[in-house]
Amino acid sequence: MEIWINPACSKCRSALTLLDAEGADYTVRRYLEDVPSGDEIRAVLGRLGLEPWDITRTGEAVAKELGLKEWARDAGSRDRWIAALAAHPKLIQRPIITADDGTAVVARTDEAVRDALSR
């Protein structure tokens, strides 16, 4: 499994602590440094079963600068959202765990991390 993290994020650190406590085998991706491409974001969205606006941190300063809260949330706007996430990875919700079974979870709670571990 892989976990996308920002080391400054307390939810990410908590997820890593739980993965370590459970003896999980995982790879860390510091997604602010190793920025996912639009195709990688699309793939993760497919695994999550979510749309790009569902994993966007709209409270970030750059989100406000871009006016994301006013962007349409429809199929025609999907690529625009994905491009924004790829250009500004800080907008991506974290942590995201891609599980070995091909699914993924936004692991902001211990329960979500355990869900990923059970897959």
In the chain, pLDDT over 90 holds for what percent of residues? 97
**Residues 18-37: tens digit of each pLDDT:** 999 999 999 999 999 999 99
Catalytic residue among 1, 9, 48, 66: 9
Round to whole Å and give the CA distance between 52 and 100: 22
Q: Is the pTM of this model over 0.85?
A: yes
Buried/exposed 17-45: b ≥16 CB within 10 Å, e otherwise: ebbeeeeeebeebebbeebbeeebbbebb
Alpha carbon separation from 118 to 6, 80, 86, 88, 92 (Å, rounded): 23, 34, 29, 31, 24
The one-letter code for the residue type at 53 is: W
Which tokens belong to 106? Answer: 């936004």
What is the model's pLDDT at position 20? 97
Q: Is the pLDDT of residue 100 over 90?
A: no
Q: Is the pLDDT of residue 88 over 90?
A: yes
> What order of strands is seen across the sheet that includes strand 104-106?
27-30, 2-5, 96-98, 104-106
Look up 9 and say whether it is catalytic: yes
